[in-house]
Amino acid sequence: MVGGLLTFLRQTLIELGNLLSNLLPPRYFSWQTVIYMSLFSWLMSLLARLLATTAFTIGLLATISWICLAIGVGWALESNKARLFGIPIAPWVSGAILCLFLFGSWGGRWLQPALVAWPLVSFAVIAVPNLLSWDFSLKNPPPAVRQQLALLFCLSLLFSSWFQFYFRIQTWVRNYPSLVADSVENSAFVYRIPGQTIALPAGVTHLTIAEELLREQVDNKPWPSVERWLLNLDGQRQVMRQRVRSQTGRTTSLEDSLWQLDFQPLSNGDGYTLKLWAIWSGPAASPSGYYLEKTCLLMPVNRGGLLPENSPAGYSTTQWASLTCDLETPRLAGHPRGVGARGQV
């Protein structure tokens, strides 16, 4: 038993010795030393924070820690020939660490500027050792290296522009959901993922508000008063558009001003068919634009049943208006007849 215990202790000491030999840097000037400097600076900044020292001291120690971490990790990856599809990843990882340090403390939407700057920061990680020496004097790299740096700089600008363009498209889509609700099959930049939920355009909200106003004005009202209401179409359009502006003004949708609201009654015999239109005046897949349409049926009906007490004369023969509207709001190309091509509310 004693022999087995001694063997176990000897094996444990050997493994600890191997672990220490792997942790200790083989020489002073190595990537392990730089990473240990990063860890030491981070611990010192934490200690300075606990001792409530000045913000400058804490920030300086944290900055040294991040810089040493970026240099040490990049150095380690390059020493071990880390490659992805034959491309060195050391400068890109170091650039990502520096961007995380530079923009991560901003809070809020820091990921967007970090991704946009990442290719350029990664290029700087590659270019600075080739252009500056340790004493900060300028170096004159060979023509082949200069050509490689110029090509890499152009590629970094291209990647940064792609990231910026992606965020710009996302901003447009968030502020103007009707752009995505339109057809994007012929777009070279926007792709709709199958099964993706599409936000309803603001025109649907406008048509819903217009329907509510119609119900207040004509539904369950005496038919003669409804016909008088229809005689003043221009005035009713202004009232309807003012109601839409007052209710949509509570939201922050930027595309509300790009929708024009209009309606037109069409006689169908005894009653009317009301066509409610929300016309999109912004950019569209079709050169002629498009509009949303909601169809409502306004018909006179006779009230049956018992008459209320003290009802006025002629109450039983008075016709009343009944309004029914479709739930669907189909999207139609072009513009309704009699409506300006690019008018706005």
Q: In this predicted model, what pLDDT tens digit does every residue of 36-58 receive, in sequence order?
A: 888 888 888 888 888 888 888 88
pLDDT in tens, 304-335: 544 455 555 555 567 889 999 998 888 888 88
Highest mean pLDDT among 184-198, 229-243, 305-319 belongs to: 229-243
Tokens 């700057």 found at: 117
Per-residue model confidence (pLDDT) at position 160: 93
Are the beta carbons of 244 and 206 closer than 8 angstroms?
A: yes
Contact 322, 220 (CB under 8 A): yes
Q: Is 292 helix (H, G, I), strand (E, B) or coil?
A: strand
Helices and strands, number each (H, E), in the chain: 10, 7
The pLDDT of residue 345 is 37
| pTM for this entry | 0.65
pLDDT value, residue 1: 55
- The CA distance from 119 to 125, in Å, is 10
* 267-299 pLDDT, tens digit each: 888 889 999 999 888 777 677 788 889 999 999
User: What per-residue confidence (pLDDT) applies to 4?
Assistant: 59
Give the residue-averaged pLDDT of 94-112: 82
